[in-house]
């Protein structure tokens, strides 16, 4: 199938999809290296939902693919060109996302991860949710590890790895034939190099028409023939209007540790947010979460008025560590907080490995990561969301470490 | 508005634009990230002028935008994809430009500024005028500065910064409705990064139909909430036929300093040029210009026959320093001289900062930089252009430093 | 000529091309920076052959050009976007090529050669034949050399240089009017930088209709005005099914040296291959070839059944050194061997220069490199190919060095 520019499908299904489960799921390939397909623009519409693909133009975003899923309640922007990151989620007066000084959705061909002393990743950082990983995540710096030939070698790692700047090789839209006719955008991103990792990410961002929640369901597989370290951080970022002076973050906390001496100074106020503050220096807190009997945990970000909130829930077996990143800088510099479930903390991999927080995949092994994200409106709904987190905490005391870890 | 390929407007205005000033200026958007527009090709013609946009193909220039303004006398090539650089200006047998060994107008996605020990910028260097900056300009090397968190940090800077390799986010063509119906190509280039500078460059290259001069009018604004250092060098480069054996450069010189010991050896001949000379090693001279009562200064490059010249004029309040770069190497290696008004000299930012030549912008602050460029034909006109510079010099002695600065 | 998308020529020459030599060769320009041409798709067909150009889509291969020459017997994939590398050659059940973990044919704009400590080249490495060079080839690391200004300078070189990741500036298809109507794909790739090399590669991959052999004919020219070092390695890579347990490589060997201590341990078995072996660490052997009276030499890779083989022949005056790279790792990690005629060995340029293996081109000087590649089927043909190599060896003893060179 050739590359089709300006190819638009408009299926006017006025009353939604046929409910009969004998029908197969509808599948639409938008990008495929295997089939040599890349659609520049495309749209599929149901009665109260749509999925639209367009190509961005101008500046650093020339040629970037953007898929918007609209389920009638949420509009979810997925960026296949940037590793299937979720740029923004909008719902009426709510949004998951933030105002980064990086305004374009930057094409990876214009990103140099080695730039600025390994901080080049920040030149494209503006998503609501970007994955850090997969070979490595966390702070730049020199890692030291076995070279596979019996010796040790060093490598200068760049901030937060490569996966967020790798274009998806396969992208398809799937509409479940069975009720509730879940809408799925599925992508495959390969982080595979010769003499390097052979990791495959299959990600599915999905939503049910009419609901105010959605799911990110990822599988990471080691396609190589040798054991492979990996790291993944779900770097979910929230700005105004949800974030604001007096907004609060709620997590079920077994232990709370400041990432550095600067964060240690403000640890007592870790759960509340300042207004935009020029010159604010980031504060990072490391959380071991408490879980329910199914090993599930979550976090809620609540606005100051306690009438809007976003929640994230996940399995602590999948993602045992949570980082809370407070960056309540001036609006112009990026007023944002990160709620980041992960396989570890954002130290350099050298630190993480020494601490036992760098998992491995044996050849052919897969691991799954599922995040459920909800938007909550109205004081009662927000209160319920927060209380669910509080019920995980129960009367467990928080083990507050007042000093950063000795590295 | 969707992306339009091969979209051509041909407005046959046989007698020029309507002179009535009640008409609004004509504005044509060629590129806009805000409007998601990028025109592959476009043309607007008046009676004796035109503006044409095309997209370059092949090699390293695939996908590069090129706008040519033809005012009937000058043809000015502007490259939105490369930070609104001016590739070349042609006028009959004259040209502002040079023959770089880099022949393609290289797409920034193929430039790695970190390449060759921070000299990757040279892999795309072939413009008549490229801006160096904005966060930093000058020589590569390790800078050391305050990190904003109370400590100091180091960073390996790359040659001449990033702005020349950032695609413009917004590009429009404006035709003034009022006489003299100035033709303007306006671009906006953002050098904005998270945990980095938030600088906005608005540049306008403009020309009046039928004139043999044009203007570059730039505004740099700090969109961040904190004070921001910046540097800008207007790296204007001249080769044959203007440059040749016996060509001369004329500036009003308060002080003249060799950049290094090698330049010091030839300082007495700084104003005259050799023919193409294989193995020539660059000589760089640092000038503090003398100015008129309006704080304006200028420089003229005159050919050997004294019948062709190019002049540049600017405000020394805006651009207080001038660098003269002599690189009269073999034609094949790049026979060229740079006349470079700037906020400082092209040392590494560490040196420039220590010398007090790195300006700062407070939050929201803007600074403007205007260059007026003229082409001069005939011995009388050339003589007049040179005499204007000589009048600035008057009987002020030149303070010749015979040693490079102690760093 | 404008950029033409989806432009297809179908010349149905049912009985091949006119044999009359009075006709000019047919020439078709597919890419030209000079003419501003880039065809997205194109096809030319004769009776039993065709040349087809298509553009790849999806993932990291978005926008990559692929030309497939089909002479009725061989299908040869040439990649103009990646320096005119040859991705794969197919012929019935035979193939020249391998299964790299890098599956996409990666666009150079997504390659960062500085990545992974200078090993970024490996992120795009999957071709049957990729040239290493031209300014430098071989291992990453710090080189030290004269800076042209009388001093010495250092530079961190990246693995195998840049030429394999530079898009061709000019690409044309030529069909000889004279019998045997050779089909030629000719490309020009420039590795030219300011204050850097000015090297031009003209390459022609050509084949006669119906034959099971083809030719790579390259010319490297120094367009600069000063003497220029260069290096070129023809990194030809073979995987299954030709490579397999018991496959053998045959070369005419004057001297055989292990590249490192690890290779030294297995030097006696250098000519035979293991099956895919998880955790296999590469073994590299350095060969000075023996030649015939015309200074020609060659190498043959023969499968385990001795009924399929590939041969390469070249002039040892052009390419005096041969490297045999054994990387019989697990299939998933890249099961491959390299047979690499070259101007030197793949040590860092610093080592190669000290050993006298870095040639120079004086200004305007050209050097030609021709490789003849053959596919051999059936025990008799394979035996003949091997015997031709054995005849070069004759009764010359192999000078086996059991220790790697002292560096």
What is the domain range of residue A330? 26-400
The percent of chain A in helix, strand and coil, each rounded to the nearest 5, is: 15, 40, 45
Are B225 and A334 in contact (CB < 8 Å)?
Answer: no
User: Which of A59, A122, A278 faces B196 most closely, judged by CB atoms?
Assistant: A122
User: What was the pLDDT predicted at B19?
Assistant: 40
What is the per-residue pLDDT for C12? 32
- Categorize the per-residue pLDDT at A105 as very low, low, confident or very high, splitting at 50, 70 and 90: very high
Closest alpha carbon to A163 in A104, A203, A116: A203
Answer whether residue A116 shows pLDDT above 60. yes
Tokens 């999806």 belong to residue: C58
pLDDT for B22: 54
Residue B350 inside a domain? The answer is yes
Measured CA distances, C22 to B226, B382, C177, C225 (Å): 74, 57, 8, 40
Q: Which two three-digit tokens encode residue C317?
A: 């005056």
Residue C57 included in any domain: yes
The C-alpha atoms of residue C115 and residue C33 are separated, in whole angstroms, by: 29
Per-residue 3-state assignment (H helix, E strand, C coil) for A237-250: EECCCCCCCCCEEE
Q: What are phi and psi of A343, to 5 degrees?
A: -80, -10
Poorest-pLDDT segment among B156-165, C144-153, C393-402: C144-153
Q: Which of B148, B170, B194 sits opposite A125 (nearest CB)?
A: B194
Q: Which residues contact B150 (CB under 8 A, 6 or more apart)?
A: none
Rounded distance between C-alpha atoms, residue A87 and residue A100, angstroms? 11
For the segment C343-394, what is each residue's pLDDT rounded down to a tens digit? 999 999 999 999 999 999 999 999 999 999 999 999 999 999 999 999 999 9
Cis peptide before B266 (omega within 30 of 0): no
Using alpha carbons only, give the angle A106, A112, A117 rounded to the nearest 5 degrees: 125
Residues A104, B2: C-beta atoms closer than 8 Å: no
Residue with tokens 């009987």: B395
C134 bridge partner residues: C231
- Say if residue C13's pLDDT is above 50: no
Please, which pLDDT band fits residue A407 given cuts at 50, 70 and 90? low
Number of structural domains, chain B?
A: 1
SS3 A390: helix
**Rounded Cα gap, residues C203 and B272, in angstroms:** 43
3-class DSSP state for residue A81? helix
Of the residues A5, A56, A57, the best mutation for testing chain B's interface (the one with the most B CB atoms within 10 Å of its CB) is A57
Is beta strand B399-400 parallel, antiparallel or unpaired with respect to B65-70? unpaired
Helix, strand, coil shares, percent, chain B, to 5: 15, 40, 45
Size of interface A-B (CB pairs under 8 A): 113
List the structure tokens of A94.
Answer: 């709510």
Is there a domain that residue B249 lies in? yes
User: CA of A168, closest CA in chain C: separation in Å?
Assistant: 5
Select from A38, A190, A194 the Cβ nearest to the Cβ of C57: A38
**CA A12, A15, A16, A21 torsion: positive or negative?**
negative
With a cut of 60, say whether residue C3 has pLDDT above it.
Answer: no
In a domain, residue C5? The reply is no
Q: Give the one of C55, C110, C329 whose C-beta lies nearest to A108's C-beta.
A: C110
Residue A89 phi/psi, 5-degree rounding, is -125, 125
Overall average pLDDT of the A266-295 stretch:
97
Residues of B in contact with C33 (CB under 8 A): 56-59, 61, 103-104
Is the CB of residue B332 less than 8 Å from the CB of residue C364?
A: no
pLDDT of residue C23: 72
Nearest C-alpha neighbor of A335 from the set A219, A210, A223, A247: A247
- Domain with B327 in it: what CATH number? 2.70.98.10
Cβ of C62 within 8 Å of Cβ of A38? The answer is yes
Tell me what pLDDT residue C407 has. 65
pLDDT at C39: 97
Helix or strand run (H / E) with residue B392:
helix B379-393
- C4 in a structural domain: no
Cis ω before C180 (30° cut-off from 0): yes
Q: What contacts B124, CB < 8 A, 6 or more positions away?
A: B82, B102, B106, B108, B110, B111, B164, B165
Q: Alpha-carbon distance A276 to C185, whole Å?
A: 60
Per-residue pLDDT of B253-286, as tens digits, reads 999 999 999 999 999 999 999 999 999 999 999 9
Lowest mean pLDDT among A398-407, B212-221, B225-234, C7-16: C7-16
Subunits with 3+ Cβ pairs within 8 Å of A are B, C
Higher pLDDT, C125 or B22: C125
Residue A267 has pLDDT above 60, yes or no: yes
Instruction: Flag if B123 and C38 touch (Cβ within 8 Å).
Output: no
| Residue C168 pLDDT > 70 | yes
In 3-state terms, what secondary structure has residue C12?
coil
Place of tokens 């803007």: B366
pLDDT value at position C47?
Answer: 86
Strand partners of residue C152? C146
Residue C151 has pLDDT above 90, yes or no: no
> Which pLDDT score, from 0 to 100, does residue C150 have?
77
Measured in degrees and rounded to the nearest 5, phi and psi for residue A276 equal: -55, 130
Nearest to C31 among B58, B107, B116 (CB): B58
Shortest CA distance to A187 belongs to which of A2, A364, A53? A53
The per-residue DSSP string of B151-208 comes to SEEEEEEPTTBSGGGS--SEEEEEE-SSTT--EEEEEEEEEE-TTS-EEEEEEEEEE-
Q: Is residue B8 one of the residues assigned to a domain?
A: no
User: Residue C11 pLDDT more than 80?
Assistant: no
Task: Give the Cα separation of A332 and B200 in Å (integer).
Answer: 13
For each successive 10 residues of chain B (407 residues), what is the average pLDDT?
Answer: 36 36 84 97 95 98 98 98 98 98 97 96 98 98 84 94 98 97 98 97 98 98 97 98 98 98 97 97 98 98 98 98 98 98 98 98 98 98 98 97 91
What are A147's two structure tokens?
């070279």
Whether complex ipTM tops 0.90: yes
**Is residue C76 in some structural domain?**
yes
- Asked if the Cβ–Cβ distance from B103 to C190 is below 8 Å, we say yes
Is residue C90 classed as helix, strand or coil in its secondary structure?
strand
CA dist., res. B334 & res. C198, Å (int): 11
Tokens of B29: 């958007």
Whether A215 is in a domain gets the answer: yes
Give yes or no for a contact between C131 and C140, defined as CB atoms under 8 angstroms apart: no
Q: Mutating which of A101, A235, A239 best tests the B interface, going by the most B Cβ atoms within 10 A?
A: A101
Q: What is the DSSP string of A278-314?
A: TTPPPEEEEEEEP--TTSEEEEEEE-TTSSEEEEEEE
Token pair 């390469």 is found at C312
């Amino acid at each position: 199938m050739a590359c089709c520019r300006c190819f638009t499908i408009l299926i006017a299904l006025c009353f939604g999809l046929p409910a009969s489960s004998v029908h197969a799921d509808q599948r639409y390939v938008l990008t495929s290296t295997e089939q040599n397909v890349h659609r520049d623009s495309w749209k599929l519409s149901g009665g109260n939902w749509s999925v639209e693909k367009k190509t961005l133009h101008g500046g650093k975003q020339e040629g970037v693919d953007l898929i918007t899923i609209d389920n009638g309640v949420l509009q979810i922007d997925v960026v296949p060109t940037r590793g299937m990151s979720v740029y923004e989620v909008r719902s009426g007066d709510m949004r998951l996302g933030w105002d980064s000084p990086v305004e374009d959705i930057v094409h990876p061909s214009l990103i140099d991860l080695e730039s600025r002393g390994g901080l080049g990743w920040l030149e494209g950082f503006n998503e609501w949710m970007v994955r850090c990983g997969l070979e490595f995540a966390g702070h730049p710096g020199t890692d030291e590890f076995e070279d596979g030939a019996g010796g040790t070698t060093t490598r200068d790692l760049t901030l937060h790895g490569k996966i967020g700047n790798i274009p998806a090789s396969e992208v398809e839209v799937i509409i479940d034939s069975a009720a509730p006719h879940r809408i799925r955008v599925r992508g495959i991103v390969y982080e595979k190099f010769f003499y390097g990792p052979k990791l495959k990410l299959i990600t599915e961002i999905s939503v049910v028409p009419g609901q105010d929640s959605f799911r990110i369901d990822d599988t990471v597989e080691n396609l190589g023939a040798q054991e492979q370290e990996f790291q993944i951080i779900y770097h979910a970022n929230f700005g105004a209007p949800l974030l604001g002076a007096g907004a609060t973050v709620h997590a079920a906390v077994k232990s709370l540790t400041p990432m550095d001496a600067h964060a240690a100074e403000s640890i007592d106020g870790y759960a509340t947010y300042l207004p935009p503050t020029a010159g604010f220096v980031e504060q990072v807190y490391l959380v071991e979460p408490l879980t329910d009997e199914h090993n599930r945990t979550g976090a809620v970000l609540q606005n100051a008025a306690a009438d809007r909130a976003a929640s994230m829930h996940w399995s602590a077996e999948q993602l045992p560590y949570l980082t809370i990143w407070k960056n309540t800088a001036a609006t112009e510099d990026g007023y944002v907080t990160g709620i980041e479930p992960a396989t570890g903390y954002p130290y350099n991999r050298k630190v993480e490995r020494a601490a036992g927080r760098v998992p491995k995949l044996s050849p052919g092994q897969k691991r799954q990561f599922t995040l459920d994200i909800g938007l909550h409106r109205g004081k009662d709904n927000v209160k319920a969301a927060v209380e669910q987190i509080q019920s995980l905490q129960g009367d467990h005391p928080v083990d507050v470490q007042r000093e950063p870890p000795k590295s």
